[in-house]
Amino acid sequence: MTSIFTKIINGEIPCHKVAEDAHYFAFLDINPVAKGHTLVIPKKEVDYIFDLDAETLSGLTLFAQKVAKGIAKVVPCKRVGVTVLGLEVPHAHVHLIPLNSEADVDFKKPKLKMESAETAALAREIQSAIGNLQ
Ligand code: AMP
């Protein structure tokens, strides 16, 4: 069965995209735990991140590094944290979350509510920051 993330990549489900190349895709999480919470995925649909082939897994890390640098330029934070859960969506992904304290990465707390226009503007800003990286 096609994952919801593959449908996002194919444009069948909308998302707030921040980056894409031939093999990877990044977009804002629909239920962010912090402003700028982004998901980075391989286009190849594999459920469990550690079942990815070595090349795809290392490429995902390098792509996530670029995305994290873009996020940090837009969202004030001490650093961008990386979390892997994968309990909900069976398509490998990493969560990039701007952190100012440990509490920012608490998935049990109420999710952030953001207006759609604000989310769209944030995605555009992060996309542009990634595009401007050296
Ligand atoms: P997990 O698989 O446990 O890492 O969680 C999946 C993550 O995907 C959650 O943080 C969801 O909020 C997020 N998510 C699920 N559907 C969408 C969607 N359509 N667009 C953006 N994020 C999503």
Domain map of the chain by residue range? 4-126
Query: What average pLDDT score do residues 17-32 get?
Result: 98
Note the CATH number of domain 4-126. Answer: 3.30.428.10
Q: Is 128 in the pocket of ligand 1 (CB under 6 A)?
A: no
pLDDT of residue 1 exceeding 90, the answer is no
Contact yes or no for 43/82 (Cβ under 8 A): no
Q: How deeply is 92 buried, as exposed, middle or buried, from its count of CB atoms within 10 A (0-12, 13-18, 19+)?
A: buried
Centre of ligand 1 to C-alpha 132, Å, is 27
Contact yes or no for 65/80 (Cβ under 8 A): no
Q: Is 84 in the pocket of ligand 1 (CB under 6 A)?
A: no
- What is the per-residue pLDDT for 66? 98
Centre of ligand 1 to C-alpha 29, Å, is 6
- What is the per-residue pLDDT for 100? 96
Question: What's the rounded Cα separation, in Å, for the pair 57 and 14?
Answer: 25
| Structure confidence by residue, pLDDT tens digits, 38-81 | 999 999 999 999 999 999 999 999 999 999 999 999 999 999 99
- What is the per-residue pLDDT for 68? 98
Calculate what percentage of the chain has a pLDDT beyond 70: 100
Pocket test for ligand 1, best of 8, 31, 41, 91 (most atoms within 8 A of CB): 31
Query: What average pLDDT score do residues 95-116 get?
Result: 94
Question: Which residues are marked as active site?
Answer: 93
- What is the per-residue pLDDT for 44? 97
- What is the per-residue pLDDT for 19? 98
Centre of ligand 1 to C-alpha 95, Å, is 9
User: DSSP code of 35?
Assistant: T
- What is the per-residue pLDDT for 134? 73
Determine if the pTM surpasses 0.95.
Answer: yes
